[in-house]
Every structure is written in structure tokens, then in C-alpha cells.
Structure 1
Amino acid sequence: MLLRTIERFLHEFDIAPTRFGRDCARDPRLVFDLRRGREPGDRVTRRVEHFMNTYRRSARP
């Protein structure tokens, strides 16, 4: 589930939900809306996954 993956990512990198949403999808309410049951489309899902993968690669030493 996308939300579970996002929640782990936020915890792992200590990122605020609003910052995450703004940086990956230009939507500061993204995480809050997902928590309330919003179902993301394929495009948003791909964008979020790409952002997290890119962020992880750049955070590695």
C-alpha cells in the first residue's frame, strides 16, 4: 500500500508530511488526504515512488 510506504519513508528520513507532498507532487495535503482515504491515481503513485527512490539514492553516502 502506498500510504504505508510513505509513512515509513517519512519516519526514516524525518520529513514532514507537508514537505513530502509539496516536494514530490506539489500537493502539501497529499499525505493527509491519503490518510483520510484518498485513492491516488497511477500518475501520482508513479511520481511519489520516483521521488522516494531518487531521494534514497541521493541520501546514501
Structure 2
Amino acid sequence: MKTRVHYPEEIKWKVIEMKKDRYSNRTISVGLAFPSQSDSKEKATSTSSSTIMYMQSSHGDSW
């Protein structure tokens, strides 16, 4: 099983901005819908766009 996951640059920058705003790791992983080891990739990709839209609407477009 692979242990390293490569995320798009867009996601990496969003994580950096959230870290600057002092979000917890759990909030970031749930908010950006990072798949846990038990989740399937399909489930994570289906929720990521709606979660990102929620995060943008609740925190503004600053990040």
C-alpha cells in the first residue's frame, strides 16, 4: 500500500494559509476532505469540492 500521497499545488497552498490562520490539523484535514487510510479515493474526491466551497463561503475568499 502506498504511504505517500501527492496533493495538487492548490490544496497545498490552502493548507499553508489555514496553518497561518492557526487552524488545527484535524480541522484542515476534515475541511479539505483529505482521505484517511480507511476511506476510498472515490469518496474523498466527491466531497472535496463541496467542502472547499463551504470553507470559502464561511471564511471569505482570503485563502
Query: Which TM-score applies when normalising by structure 1?
Result: 0.48
Q: Identify which of structures 1 and 2 has the higher relative contact order when contacts are C-alpha pairs closer than 8 Å and 6+ apart.
A: 2
Q: Bigger radius of gyration, 1 or 2?
A: 2
